[in-house]
C-alpha cells in the first residue's frame, strides 16, 4: 500500500500556488493624490445660498432640478449649544445636535425628500401633488424656521430648523399649484 500524504496540496493547487501575484503600490501620503481626484471625492454638506439650482440629470427635458439640498441651520446648533450650558436646556441641545448630524432636506422640482438616521437609510419622499398647505414658523429673529407641510390626506410633515425657510415655503406652494394646474382632478359624483 502506498502512503498518501494528507497535508500536502493536490497537484492542481500546487501549480496554482506558484502563480505570481501583482504587487499594488499605494501612495505613502494623501498629498500624493492628485488635487483633482480629492475634489471629486468631497461631499457637499449644504448648498450655497447664492448658487443657481442644479440638475441631477443631463438636460434632456426630464431631469430633476435641485432647489435646496442641506441640513438644519447651523445657527440652531450654536444657539442650543450655548443655551445647553444650563441643565434645563440640555434635552433641547441634544435634539439640536442630532438634527445637525443626522437630518437632511432636499427640495426638487418633483418632490420633497427628508433623509435621516445614522446612515441616512431612513428616507421620506412625497411629491408636490399631495401638498395641501405650507406654513412657516420663524425661529431666532427669522434666521431659520420650521416649515410645516400639510398633505391632502391630513398628515403634517414638520421640517425643523430649515435655512431659507420662507423661500423654500414659497417654492413648495408654487410647485404644488403648478402640479395641481397641470393635473386637474375629475369631479366625482353625478
Q: State yes or no: pLDDT of 33 exceeds 60.
A: no
Write down the mean pLDDT value for the chain: 76
What pLDDT, on a 0 to 100 scale, did the predictor assign at position 8? Answer: 52
- pLDDT digit string, tens, across residues 92-127: 999 999 998 999 999 999 999 999 988 888 999 999
Residue 71's Cβ-count burial label (10 Å; 0-12, 13-18, 19+) is buried
Task: Identify the CATH assignment for 67-182 out of 1.10.287.70, 3.40.50.10330, 2.30.29.30, 3.40.605.10.
Answer: 2.30.29.30
What pLDDT, on a 0 to 100 scale, did the predictor assign at position 171? Answer: 95
In sign, the C-alpha dihedral spanning 27, 33, 38, 41 is negative
Cell triple for 79: 444657539
In sign, the C-alpha dihedral spanning 181, 185, 186, 190 is negative
Domain ranges of the chain: 67-182
Q: Highest mean pLDDT: which of 10-14, 75-79, 183-187?
A: 75-79
Q: State yes or no: pLDDT of 27 exceeds 60.
A: no
To the nearest 10 degrees (0 to 180), the angle between helices 90-102 and 74-83 is: 160
Lowest pLDDT segment from 22-26, 115-119, 137-141: 22-26
pTM of the model: 0.62
Amino acid at each position: 500500500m502506498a502512503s498518501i500524504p494528507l497535508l500536502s496540496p493536490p497537484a492542481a493547487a500546487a501549480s496554482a500556488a506558484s502563480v505570481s501575484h501583482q504587487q499594488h503600490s499605494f501612495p505613502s501620503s494623501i498629498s500624493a493624490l492628485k488635487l483633482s481626484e480629492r475634489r471629486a471625492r468631497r461631499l457637499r454638506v449644504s448648498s450655497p445660498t447664492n448658487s443657481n439650482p442644479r440638475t441631477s440629470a443631463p438636460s434632456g427635458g426630464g431631469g430633476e432640478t435641485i432647489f435646496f439640498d442641506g441640513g438644519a441651520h447651523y445657527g440652531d446648533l450654536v444657539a442650543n449649544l450655548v443655551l445647553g450650558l444650563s441643565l434645563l436646556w440640555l434635552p433641547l441641545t441634544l435634539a439640536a445636535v442630532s438634527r445637525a448630524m443626522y437630518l437632511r432636506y432636499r427640495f426638487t422640482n418633483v418632490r420633497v425628500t427628508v433623509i435621516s438616521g445614522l446612515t441616512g437609510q431612513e428616507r421620506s419622499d412625497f411629491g408636490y401633488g399631495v401638498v395641501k398647505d405650507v406654513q412657516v414658523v420663524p425661529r431666532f429673529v427669522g434666521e431659520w424656521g420650521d416649515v410645516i407641510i400639510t398633505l391632502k390626506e391630513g398628515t403634517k410633515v414638520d421640517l425643523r430648523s430649515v435655512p431659507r425657510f420662507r423661500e423654500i415655503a414659497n417654492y413648495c406652494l408654487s410647485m404644488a399649484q403648478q402640479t395641481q394646474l397641470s393635473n386637474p382632478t375629475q369631479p366625482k359624483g353625478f
